[in-house]
Amino acid sequence: MAREPDYYDRSKQHRGGERDFGREEEPYSRRRERDTRERPTDRDRGSYDRRRRDDHSGRRERYGRDDERDVGRGRDQDHRRDRDRGREDRDRDRAGPSRRSASPRRRSGSQPRRSQSKSVPRSKSPEDKAKPNFAPSGLLAAATKTVENTDGTKTVLKYHEPPEARKPIVGWRLYVFKGKEQVDLLHIHRQSAYLIGRDRTVCDITIEHPSCSKQHAVIQYRMVREKSEFGDVRSSIKPFLIDLESTNGTQVNDDPVPQSRYYELKPGDVIKFGESAREYVLLHDEAT
């Protein structure tokens, strides 16, 4: 039976393995001589260390370049990711609000956000009450049109005279007829406007018929500029009738008058107020 090599026993001894006491042991001198022969010289050891050092330096250089390459690659990826995100944001802004079922993108390394309620844009009201409103409230005009009665009550007039109101220079009159009989004569040239209605506290011409409103209509004198056939412009004062949005309306020559609009009157016109049977005929005298 062939004998096993010596290095087998030495390896077992080095690793703490069990020795084979039945096998013949090699003399010490022979082992020392063999170890000295197999031991590398100083020249061989220097070349071995140099090769090992060069190998490690090459690894460091190679690994360092790989690390730099990885860092640069990571920066490029971050730059491209930020660029893509900016492009998506611009496209989203251009497209406007849209419903998205997908969850918002999370950045790498960031913790997941808690559930947040989506902000729903509220519909803007046509008028923001928080902002100041400088529109005319009408309180000053109401105070100007308010008339205090003798019993302490106050009445607000529904009509206010325009800037072109003038007192007539012609003696206008109203002839009141009931059927074919004349019942009254009214001189309406002493002031620029005459209020007609059932309210005795504020009206200038009182009508007792229940179909008429408290402030029914107004006869207003206004200065009007007219151009003649020769191109001359002259001003004259003419009577106008305006209905104050009465319940039963006003008629001139059996034609209804539009509400809240000035209607020019001419001599000989017949005026009716509401359902009253009385007729008011407009005539005038020559200038005094």
- Please give the average per-residue pLDDT across 259-268, as a whole number: 94
Report d(CA 145, CA 138) in Å as an integer: 10
Name the token pair of 209. 């018929």
Query: Which pLDDT tens digit goes with each residue over 73-111?
Result: 666 677 777 778 777 777 777 776 555 544 555 555 555
CATH architecture of 155-284: Sandwich (2.60)
Q: Domain boundaries in the chain?
A: 49-88, 155-284
Write the single-letter amino acid at 80: R
Question: pLDDT tens digit string along 229-253?
Answer: 888 888 999 999 999 999 999 999 9
pLDDT for 55 beyond 70: no
Q: What is the DSSP string of 4-38?
A: PPHHHHHHHHHTTPPP-TTSPPPPHHHHHHHHHHH
For the chain, percent of residues with pLDDT exceeding 70: 58
Q: With CA atoms as reference, report the closest residue to 224 among 213, 214, 234.
A: 234
Band (287; pLDDT cuts 50, 70, 90): very low
Indicate the average pLDDT of the chain.
76
The pLDDT value recorded for residue 288 is 38
Q: Which residues pair with 222 in a beta bridge?
A: 165, 238
pTM of the prediction? 0.51
